[in-house]
Amino acid sequence: MSSHECFLQAILSDPEDDARRLVYADWLDENGDPERAELIRVQCELAPGVEDGERLVALKTRERALCRANGERWLGPLWSDITTRFECGMACLLLTLSEFHSKKVQKSAPEWFVRGGVQELSVHGPSRLLSTAAVSPLLARLHTLSLVCATVHDENAKQLAASPHVSNLRSLAMKANHLGEEGLAALTSASSLSRLTSLRLDDFHLGVGGVRAVLESPHLANLTDLDLSYHGRRRAQDFASLADCIGLRRLRRLNLHGNKIGPASLRALVNSGNLTELIELNLGLNPLGDEGCRVLAGTQGLGRLQRLRASCCGVSVSGARELIGAAGLPALSELDLSFNRINESGIEALASLPQLGRLQTLRLGGQHLLDPGARALAASPPLGRLKELDLSFCQFSANGIRALANSPNLSNLRLLNLDHSCPEPCADAVTELASARGLPRLARLCLSGWKIEDAGRAALQARFGGRALLQWNPSSFS
């Protein structure tokens, strides 16, 4: 094995250890690829988050330039500046299954997986093509595998579980599952998957018995991140019956988005004493209502929870008040209340709560918020610690934008999301942003859906461009 491959194998054996990547960068500097070494250092600095706006812009600009100038050299025929990205210097590919099985990829991939340091792969396409992908030797080079938009059946799961090449996987995602008992049994009994720390079983319909089998499998004892999105899309599941499952105790992140979970099931889960290690909980698109918020606020079993997502849950200002002021959630720093039933008068009531001061991220997108709501937020002293504010899909006029842009209470904001919240005409709101006296530490301004003319873009670039990433659409930065 060459020195290059030894470095890649060391990184693969512990993908969370940046020290190994930085040692690899030093080696690359000494062996003719200083650009790749620089990309590793840039992305390792970006990974935990960069609060200084000017530094963030400089790093992101350099990252993009390095990838565009060298991507083809690093990945050859596998390179695409649309579907390929790098994370801490290692390549992440998105391929259709047809592309994965093509002669071009199969011929070139063994060489270019090494040269590009490919360690993450997402494939999508018809499930009939999953069979050979599941046993490909290329999987041995990955720590993350995502089967996206490829319906996974029992036979696919059995072949993946039996593959001799999946023992390095730390993260496995399977979307649109049609797994039966045989497929699930294969996954939960596969010692080859024992290193998994993250498992996504999106749209999984085997019932809570299947979930229990995953949580109690001795071969999946390292799982700390479990995604069960849309598990109950076809019919509601009795999640309350999982309350006694000790496998829940090791989870740090749990995604239950779209599972028809009501307050009673939620109460059984959070009061079980088995979710005490959670730092992130996604309950979006569940019929929680204000009662569910009271359940969360009153529990003693979520003392470490830092991030809570409760979007599209039928929450009114009463429930939002319960969550913001919850004594049972002392570590909460990120709260997502997007697309609920909180209008501008409700925002005015929330903005006066002193407990808002503990939040660093607040998402209120998709509410019926008008200028009074914007002014209430802008005038709220407790929001002084806020670093991220999402007000996408709201209905502000230029006056509301002015209040936000000039607020002395939003001086610590690093990210302001105003996607699709642009009034018509747009020019006045752009002028207010471009002449803003506030937002001194802003590092990212999101304006997707705004119809901004060239003069407006130039004005925003002049105001923020040197220290903030200006996002005009969902996929690119200006």
pLDDT band per the 50, 70, 90 thresholds, residue 448:
very high
Lowest mean pLDDT among 35-49, 117-131, 228-242: 228-242
User: What's the start-to-end Cα distance of the chain, in Å?
Assistant: 42
With respect to residue 352, please indicate whether it lies within any of the assigned structural domains. Answer: yes
With respect to residue 456, please indicate whether it lies within any of the assigned structural domains. Answer: yes
Q: Distance (Å, rounded) from C-alpha 69 to C-alpha 105?
A: 22
Q: Is the pLDDT of residue 47 over 80?
A: yes
With respect to residue 22, please indicate whether it lies within any of the assigned structural domains. Answer: no
Burial 345-374 (b: 16+ CB within 10 A, else e): ebbbebbeeebbebbebbbbbbbebbbbbb
With respect to residue 293, please indicate whether it lies within any of the assigned structural domains. Answer: no
Q: How far is CA 215 from CA 11, 57, 206, 232, 246, in A?
A: 28, 42, 14, 17, 8
Q: What is the pLDDT of residue 475?
A: 39
Each residue's pLDDT tens digit, 132-172: 888 889 999 999 999 987 788 899 899 999 999 999 999 99
Q: What is the pLDDT of residue 478?
A: 33
With respect to residue 114, please indicate whether it lies within any of the assigned structural domains. Answer: no
Is 396 within 8 Å of 423 (Cβ atoms)? yes
Is 332 within 8 Å of 359 (Cβ atoms)? yes
6, containing H or E segment: helix 3-13
CB atoms within 10 A of CB 245: 17
pLDDT band per the 50, 70, 90 thresholds, residue 203:
confident
Each residue's pLDDT tens digit, 83-98: 899 999 999 999 999 9
Each residue's pLDDT tens digit, 276-333: 999 999 999 999 999 999 999 999 999 999 999 999 999 999 999 999 999 999 999 9
Using a pLDDT cut of 90, give the percent of the chain over it.
75
Is 168 within 8 Å of 12 (Cβ atoms)? yes
Given phi > 0 = left and psi -120 to 50 = alpha, else beta, which region is 144? beta
Please give the structure tokens belonging to residue 10. 């060391």
Mean pLDDT of 20-36: 95
Specify burial of residue 305 (Cβ count, 10 A radius: 0-12, 13-18, 19+): buried
Report helix angle 317-324 to 289-298, nearest 10.
Answer: 10
pLDDT band per the 50, 70, 90 thresholds, residue 219:
very high
Q: Is the pLDDT of residue 476 over 50?
A: no
Is 456 within 8 Å of 432 (Cβ atoms)? no
Q: What is the rounded average pLDDT for all residues in the chain? A: 92
Q: Is the pLDDT of residue 221 over 70?
A: yes
Residue carrying structure tokens 């999982």: 242
With respect to residue 415, please indicate whether it lies within any of the assigned structural domains. Answer: yes
With respect to residue 328, please indicate whether it lies within any of the assigned structural domains. Answer: no
Q: What is the pLDDT of residue 477?
A: 34
Each residue's pLDDT tens digit, 235-245: 677 899 999 99
Each residue's pLDDT tens digit, 253-262: 999 999 999 9
pLDDT band per the 50, 70, 90 thresholds, residue 400:
very high
Is 259 within 8 Å of 284 (Cβ atoms)? no
Q: What is the pLDDT of residue 465?
A: 79
Given phi > 0 = left and psi -120 to 50 = alpha, else beta, which region is 286? beta
Beta 198-201 vs 90-96: how paired, if at all?
unpaired
Per DSSP, the three-state class of 90 is strand
Q: What is the pLDDT of residue 205?
A: 78
Q: Is the pLDDT of residue 32 over 90?
A: yes
pLDDT band per the 50, 70, 90 thresholds, residue 473:
low
Q: What is the pLDDT of residue 472?
A: 73
Number of domains in the chain: 1
pLDDT band per the 50, 70, 90 thresholds, residue 349:
very high
Question: pTM of the prediction?
Answer: 0.93
Q: Distance (Å, rounded) from C-alpha 265 to C-alpha 257?
A: 14
With respect to residue 321, please indicate whether it lies within any of the assigned structural domains. Answer: no
Q: Is the pLDDT of residue 405 over 60?
A: yes
Each residue's pLDDT tens digit, 165-182: 999 999 999 987 788 899
Mean pLDDT of 395-417: 95
* Domain enclosing residue 358, as ranges: 342-478
Q: What is the CATH number of the domain that holds 423?
A: 3.80.10.10
